[in-house]
Chains A and B, each alone.
Chain A
Amino acid sequence: MNGGRVIVVGNGMVGQRFVDALRARDPQGRWQVTVLAEESRPAYDRVRLSAFFDGVSADELNLHTPDEGVELRLGEPVTAVDRDRRVVTTAAGEYPYDALVLATGSYAFVPPVDGVALPGVFVYRTLDDLAAIREHARGRHTGAVIGGGLLGLEAANALRLLGLATSVVEFAPRLMPVQVDTAGGAMLRRYVEELGVTTHLGVATTALRSGPDGTVAALELADGTVLDTDIVVVAAGIRPRDELARAAGLPLGPRGGVLVDAACRSADERIWAVGECAAVDGTCHGLVAPGYAMAEVVADRLVGGAATFPGADTATKLKLLGVDVASFGDAHGATTGCLDVTFTDPATRVYAKLVLSDDAKTLLGGVLVGDASAYPTLRASVGGPLPAPPLALLAPDGAAGAGAGALPAAAQVCSCNAVTRADIDEAIAGGCADVPALKACTRAGTSCGSCVPMLKQLLDAAGVKQSTALCEHFDASRQELFDIVRVRGIRTFSRLVAEHGRGRGCDICKPVVASILASLGSGHVLDGEQASLQDTNDHFLANLQRDGSYSVVPRIPGGEITPEKLIVIGEVARDFQLYTKITGGQRIDLFGARVEQLPQIWRRLVDAGFESGHAYGKALRTVKSCVGSTWCRYGVQDSVGLAIALELRYRGLRAPHKIKSAVSGCARECAEARSKDFGIIATETGWNLYVGGNGGFRPRHADLFATDLSTEDLVRYVDRFLMFYIRTADRLQRTAAWIEAMDGGLDHLRAVIVDDSLGLCAELDEAMARHVASYSDEWRDVLDDPERLRRFASFVNAPDVPDPSISFALERGQPVPAGGRPPASAVRQPVTLGLPEVRR
């Protein structure tokens, strides 16, 4: 049976993985694949489900890529399997199969107590569940989760993020009973309670009660406690979806699940089961990695292979409520005669346990709470010799320091995709020179990503230099160039490239050096040689548009503007026939200006009290604000006043990339501050500072950096944050990526900025003071200087002739580039000259 019709029931992560694996092994398309799925959306990353509450959209969790060779039928669950006729039935009809792969996953187990069917009680399983939770939580204040395991804590965090006061009820005497031991559970509980989540451990839920509106209002516990709650999430475990197999008369495992052998084949040779619905030799597996392994096994079998399920790696590493928790191998010390080595540090709140063989030479498993940096190395060492003495491994950064280089060849580096060190080394020998290449070649690091640091270490161990060179002209990184320029006092590109680089520069290094020079305060960006380094936007102090015209954005600090100034903007736009649009940063963008019009437009704006908004620069853009306590019934601080002060303080500050900010006057967060590089949210007593947020291509919520700050402390921290970013970030690296790539992450950043761990703060403060003192409006500086003004002509030999290629049509009453989008044929084909060229 090496081809025919294969029906896949279910399009979860494992079902999708099976399809991908089969298609990769069957390029001739001998198998005709049909997927019948219950959910209305294609496969998505259920492991990252909770990211939905962090603002990650359903689309970003998508795992499905369209494939012409696969028919995907969503919202069409299989209702019956007829093994004799080899057909499955759905509401739409029957589908014959030659092979049937059950990938139906599991459902959330709901304990049979009174009231579990009340409105306001949810499970935590699908994106639809999460959307329903979010909807119900709106306007409500308290929440409870039944179940303190992995999923229960994820759910608790979700309720917290929705602004609810949250409780967790767990029947076992500790949190995450499957993964961690008693001491680890106690440490985890401290973290969780510190975040304001109340825990009730070792107690069963006896009933759920409704309130006057008929929705759930309280939980009754076995110890007599009554918890008032507006919403309940049940996360008390999962059960395999085996009803199709059961109805078809297939044998099941002792605790449910389709009973399959090591080939993942059921008692019917044409029916296979993979993932959470399968009981391999009687055991169900609730993690994605074993499910992926099963998917690979069945794909291999369908093309004639003989793969068998290798056994499950139950190792887990996750960040729950901001706490690192990891568990691997024999975490509970079930092996006869095994030895425990434990490490508890109440001060740094780190708990670690290693389980060793009776001769203390072989690592069997372990538990890590609070710091899981050792996890990749330790997990890969399970079953093998210890990579370092146990105490050294348990010390902070111990195993991370021991490095992946010490791992044996057979050690599994990526357990999600079953990639060993030998596989990685082979890929490196085959020419993979960086992490993206290794990911593409071996699939290591493409699922949970926890092994990515090891991939880097293995590259290092193999002697592969991962280049930080900026471009072909400089071997130094941006950060190194910044230090060279700063320490050596170099003020021109030509000297820098002559002394520390080669060639003439390019569109990568020139703007970087221009930005560094500007950050270090080297006069106007268009003075002397600096002008030749600038990207066209910085060169014309405006934003180039696709038709060759520019847009102009005057600064409107905090988004506050007088009627008079608003009228001036309207008059300028009318007089120069500019297309006008309100931006996302609470200001106004004027489009369609030709280069020779720019100074005339600035003249009018500057005379009315405007200045450059630096929309063209890798610089501070805007500090957005909500209206704050001045007007708003809910505001607790003057968000507009602070936003204006911050925007005026940091205006004109050149950086590795653009910088955006916002200030919200209360916790309702109307200014969307958490999507900004630095965002500020008012509290009753001060300001909370968030850093590293991002909108754009890869949205990210900013992390809480410090709470209840005075305005003075807030400004000091932001000063240092920005200057440290400017000094140390890579080219075009936003603050989000900068923090993510930083060794030690947010904690390190806090140490540098708050505790002055690098002894840099005085320098950073001084650099910002210099910036604030030397700020000058770039538009006005051009208007005041005939030499600089001379650049603003469309044609050097015809300064009065407007560029004839720029013309407009009207759309909704405004000018837009004529001719719509340029057609693909605008790309000219190369011309071959048939006659000999006449040369100079």
Chain B
Amino acid sequence: MTTATMLSWTVVCPLDRLEPDRGVAALVDGVQVALFRTADGLFAIDNLDPVGGAYVLSRGIVGSRGGVPTIASPLHKQVYDLRTGECLDLPGISVARHEVRCRDGLVEVRLRQEG
């Protein structure tokens, strides 16, 4: 049995600090979050690459696969679905997702702790 807990929203940065199709990392309550601004909207996932074990997903290349918005790990190029966090190359691997929204030109993140 597992639970999903919602914490509060944290302001991270102005929206214009996010370049289109390029990620940044943010530190939210001690958790490293990778943020992406794409034509499909904003996405937030854990910055930890679950395969490589390093905090680098924000530095991957943003793209699409069959219409799904994706991020490719810069370490060994596994591709993740930005909407679900699922790895599209390795079945059974996924990254945690977090809530992200834009309010008054500011990007806000709310951690989702899956445990």
Where the two chains meet, the residues of A that have a C-beta atom closer than 8 Å to any C-beta of B are: 472-473, 503-507, 509-511, 529, 531-533, 535-536, 539-540, 544, 546-548, 794-798, 801, 803, 805, 822, 826-835, 837-838, 840
**Knowing A531-B22, A834-B1 touch, does A536 contact B54 (C-beta < 8 A)?**
no
Assess whether B21 is in contact with A532, with CB atoms less than 8 Å apart.
yes
List 18 other contacts, CB 8 Å, given A795-B24, A835-B4: A503-B67, A504-B63, A504-B64, A507-B61, A535-B61, A536-B59, A536-B74, A539-B22, A547-B54, A548-B54, A548-B56, A795-B25, A796-B25, A805-B48, A827-B50, A828-B93, A830-B92, A831-B94
* A797 interface neighbour in B3, B13, B74, B115, Cβ under 8 Å: B13
Interface positions, chain B 39-94, Cβ under 8 Å from A, are 39, 48, 50-56, 59-67, 69-70, 72, 74-75, 77, 79, 92-94
Which 10 A-B residue pairings sit nearest by Cβ, starting from the closest? A506-B63, A826-B53, A507-B72, A504-B64, A822-B53, A548-B54, A536-B74, A507-B61, A532-B21, A796-B24
Can you offer 7 A-B residue contacts whose CB atoms are under 8 A?
A: A506-B65, A535-B74, A826-B52, A831-B94, A831-B115, A837-B4, A838-B4
* A532 interface neighbour in B26, B53, B62, B77, Cβ under 8 Å: B62
Assess whether B79 is in contact with A506, with CB atoms less than 8 Å apart.
yes
Name the residue on B nearest A831 (C-beta): B114
**Knowing A472-B66, A838-B4 touch, does A511 contact B61 (C-beta < 8 A)?**
yes
Complex CA gap A831/B28 in Å reads 22
Assess whether A827 is in contact with B27, with CB atoms less than 8 Å apart.
no
Complex interface: chain A residues within 8 A of B94 (CB): 828, 830-831
**Knowing A506-B72, A797-B12 touch, does A532 contact B20 (C-beta < 8 A)?**
yes
Complex interface: chain B residues within 8 A of A835 (CB): 2-4
Complex CA gap A539/B74 in Å reads 11
* B63 interface neighbour in A505, A798, A805, Cβ under 8 Å: A505
Complex interface: chain B residues within 8 A of A506 (CB): 61, 63-65, 70, 72, 79
Shortest CB distance A615–B (Å): 16
Shortest CB distance A804–B (Å): 8
Assess whether A832 is in contact with B2, with CB atoms less than 8 Å apart.
yes
Interface positions, chain B 1-45, Cβ under 8 Å from A, are 1-4, 6, 11-13, 17-22, 24-28, 32, 35, 38-39
Main secondary structure of the interface of B (DSSP, over half): strand
Complex CA gap A510/B54 in Å reads 23
Complex CA gap A264/B115 in Å reads 67
Shortest CB distance A555–B (Å): 24
Complex interface: chain B residues within 8 A of A831 (CB): 2, 94, 96, 114-115
Complex CA gap A535/B63 in Å reads 12
Assess whether B52 is in contact with A504, with CB atoms less than 8 Å apart.
no
**Knowing A472-B65, A801-B27 touch, does A546 contact B75 (C-beta < 8 A)?**
yes
Complex CA gap A838/B70 in Å reads 22
Assess whether A532 is in contact with B19, with CB atoms less than 8 Å apart.
yes
Complex interface: chain B residues within 8 A of A535 (CB): 61, 74
Name the residue on A nearest B55 (C-beta): A805
Name the residue on B nearest A534 (C-beta): B61
Shortest CB distance B20–A (Å): 6
Name the residue on B nearest A805 (C-beta): B55
**Knowing A504-B38, A547-B54, A805-B32 touch, does A539 contact B4 (C-beta < 8 A)?**
no
Name the residue on A nearest B92 (C-beta): A830
Name the residue on A nearest B3 (C-beta): A835
Complex interface: chain B residues within 8 A of A540 (CB): 59
Assess whether B12 is in contact with A507, with CB atoms less than 8 Å apart.
no
Name the residue on B nearest A822 (C-beta): B53
Complex CA gap A831/B114 in Å reads 8
Assess whether B1 is in contact with A797, with CB atoms less than 8 Å apart.
no
* B2 interface neighbour in A544, A801, A827, A834, Cβ under 8 Å: A834
**Knowing A504-B38, A536-B60, A838-B4 touch, does A828 contact B27 (C-beta < 8 A)?**
no
Assess whether A828 is in contact with B50, with CB atoms less than 8 Å apart.
yes
Complex interface: chain A residues within 8 A of B21 (CB): 504, 532
Complex interface: chain A residues within 8 A of B4 (CB): 833, 835, 837-838
Assess whether A796 is in contact with B17, with CB atoms less than 8 Å apart.
yes
**Knowing A503-B64, A795-B25, A798-B27 touch, does A531 contact B69 (C-beta < 8 A)?**
no
Name the residue on A nearest B78 (C-beta): A507
Assess whether B93 is in contact with A536, with CB atoms less than 8 Å apart.
no
Assess whether B61 is in contact with A544, with CB atoms less than 8 Å apart.
no
Assess whether B55 is in contact with A840, with CB atoms less than 8 Å apart.
no
**Which of B27, B50, B63, B96 has its CB near the most chain A CB atoms (within 10 A)?**
B63
* A796 interface neighbour in B26, B51, B54, Cβ under 8 Å: B26
Assess whether A794 is in contact with B56, with CB atoms less than 8 Å apart.
no
Complex CA gap A824/B66 in Å reads 31
Complex CA gap A536/B101 in Å reads 26
Shortest CB distance B99–A (Å): 6
Complex CA gap A803/B34 in Å reads 13
* A795 interface neighbour in B27, B39, B62, Cβ under 8 Å: B27
Complex interface: chain A residues within 8 A of B48 (CB): 805
